[in-house]
Amino acid sequence: MENVIEHASRVARDNDIKLIKTISLKVGVMSGVSVDALKFAFESHQAAGEMTDANLKIDVIPAEGKCRECGEVFEVTENWPECRACGSMNIAVTGGNGFFLTDIEGE
C-alpha cells in the first residue's frame, strides 16, 4: 500500500494547497486496510511536524452479505461471515472493498 499520507501531501501540492486542513478517506471494511494503521501513520507524520493543522477523516464502507441458503441480507463486518438467520457460511459478499482518498481540504 502506498503511504496515503505522502500521497495526500503530493495531491495537496499539485492543487496548490499549502496548509492541509482535512484529509478524507474511505476504507472498505473488507479491503484489508487497517484504520488503526492509517491513524498511526498520520500521527507519526504529525509528530514529525507535518500537517499539524490537519484532521484525518475516515469513513468505513460497510459490506453486505446475502445468504445463499436462506436469502437473508445483512451487514458484514468480518472476513468469514456467518448468516445471522440460519448460521450458513455460504455467503455472497458485495461491497466494502476499496480504499479511496476522497477529499483534501486546505488553503
Subset of residues 29 to 58 that bind Zn ion, contact rule: CB under 5 A:
none
User: Is 72 a residue that touches Zn ion (CB under 5 A)?
Assistant: yes
| 3-class secondary structure, 35 | helix
CB half-sphere exposure, 63, CA atoms < 13 A: 22
Scan for cell 480504499, then name that residue.
Answer: 99
Q: Give the one residue of 31, 88, 101, 105 binding Zn ion; rule: CB under 5 A.
A: 88
Bridge-partner residues for 59, per DSSP?
Answer: 26
Q: Which range in 16-24, 33-41, 68-76, 95-103 contacts Zn ion by CB under 5 A?
A: 68-76
Question: Could you list the residues that contact Zn ion (CB under 5 A)?
Answer: 67, 69-70, 72, 83, 85-86, 88
